[in-house]
Amino acid sequence: MDATARAVLFVCALLLVAQVRSSHIPATMNRTIQSLRQHYKIPRSERYNGKPVFSKEPLAGRENEVKKLFLGGILETYGKLLNKMLEQLPTPSPSVDTPANANANANTDSNVTVRTGLKSILKMVQNLKRGYEEQAKLGDELISLQNIATDNLVVQSKALAELPWLFEEASTLRNNDRKRRRRRHTAAKRQAKVGK
């Protein structure tokens, strides 16, 4: 096999992998997002300034349950964001076909297209979010922990009484994680020795 054939085969394999990686994003969603980005246009320097709205860093190296909790929170935020974007669009009014209203009707048509796109994306996000209901509930419970009255004597006393079971649970979970990591590390070492 000559170098050209190998290069073509390599490029085809890369394209196949890239296509498989993005196969969870429906084509209609991708087209709608691209269309909406034209309406919500900002300079490239602002879009790619190195400060994403939703950072991927909290997902790096985390267990699936932690990732699900974080992604559930992001999906919840996207729901709020898309609803706010819908609220900010002008309300469509009945169109009157006159030459003076031609430009206004074009803007109304554009707003209707944007509204339809936002509703479509919102529906897809809400459908995906249904698989994260348990994580959303846990996120709400985490937020409610911030509202505990830490200066209340009754709360303080009850919290001290509940600390032993919580401490036991947290310690057991941490120790199980350590054992699992140690087993993986040992298995990886064994595999590396076998491969030599």
Torsion, CA 126, CA 130, CA 135, CA 138, rounded to 10: 90
| CA–CA dist 86, 76 (Å, integer) | 16
| CA–CA dist 119, 90 (Å, integer) | 14
Q: Which residues have C-beta within 8 Å of that of residue 149, sequence separation ≥ 6?
A: 155
Question: Full-prediction pTM beyond 0.85?
Answer: no
| Local confidence pLDDT in tens for the 196 residues of the chain | 566 556 555 555 555 544 444 457 888 888 999 889 888 888 989 888 888 888 888 888 878 888 888 888 888 889 999 999 999 988 866 655 555 555 545 566 778 889 999 999 999 999 888 888 888 788 888 888 888 888 888 888 888 888 888 878 878 877 877 777 777 778 777 777 776 6
Alpha helices in 54-147 (DSSP H): 64-88, 102-129, 133-145
Q: CA 125, 129, 132: angle at the middle one, nearest 5? A: 160
Q: Structure tokens of 103?
A: 């430009």
Q: Structure tokens of 40?
A: 């919500």
